[in-house]
Amino acid sequence: MPIFKKEKKNKNKTVETNENPLQIINNCKIGEGTKIWNFVNIYGCEIGRDSMVGCFCEIQKGVKIGDRTRIQSHSFVCELVEIGSDCFIGHGVMFINDVYPPQPDPSMWKRTVIEDGVSIGSNATILPVRIGKGAVIGAGAVVTKDVPDGTVIAGNPASFMRFSSAGNKE
């Protein structure tokens, strides 16, 4: 009987270009068990294990997405966005990095961080903010300010509705 467990082989793969003509995937690091549906355009990003990217999503270079996170169809995840693990990004969620477009100089763009366990409703627009752990963003929200952990927000501009049942436990 071996005393130590055999180290699990890291099966994350780097997809430089893909063979499926219905997907455009270039230079991405994609974790084991992650499912990418057809009609995506994703490049230069990192996606963890057991995640999912739905049809018609674009994910730009430098984006990092954690494990078990679901990006539903028609969403756009731009450069300078980081999404944690166990997140739900609804259909047609739009992230923004250039607040005064078009600014060709990327040093003028701003960063967005989505912490673990966040749920973002369909058709939400996320300006450059930090969304705290376990927060819930209503469908159609326009998020213009940082969102504290475990809160539910909605509306345009999005504002506090209540605390989520899952959040704010720490």
Ligand X SMILES: CC(C)(COP(=O)(O)OP(=O)(O)OC[C@H]1O[C@@H](n2cnc3c(N)ncnc32)[C@H](O)[C@@H]1OP(=O)(O)O)[C@@H](O)C(=O)NCCC(=O)NCCS
Interface residues toward ligand X, by CB under 6 A? 90, 121-122, 136, 138-140, 152, 154-155
Instruction: Kindly tell me which of 28 and 154 has the beta carbon lying closer to ligand X.
Output: 154
Instruction: Kindly tell me which of 60 and 164 has the beta carbon lying closer to ligand X.
Output: 164
Starting at the edge strand found earlier in the chain, the sheet holding 28-30 runs 13-15, 28-30, 46-47, 64-65, 81-83, 112-114, 130-131
Shortest distance, position 124 Cβ to ligand X, whole Å:
8
Instruction: Kindly tell me which of 90 and 117 has the beta carbon lying closer to ligand X.
Output: 90
Instruction: Kindly tell me which of 96 and 135 has the beta carbon lying closer to ligand X.
Output: 135
Shortest distance, position 156 Cβ to ligand X, whole Å:
8
Give 9's contacts (C-beta < 8 A, 6+ positions apart): none
- Distance between CA atoms of residues 28 and 111, nearest Å: 20
Distance of CA 104 to the CA centre of its chain: 23
Shortest distance, position 159 Cβ to ligand X, whole Å:
9
Beta carbons within 10 angstroms of residue 17's beta carbon = 11
Shortest distance, position 160 Cβ to ligand X, whole Å:
11
Question: What's the residue count for the chain?
Answer: 170
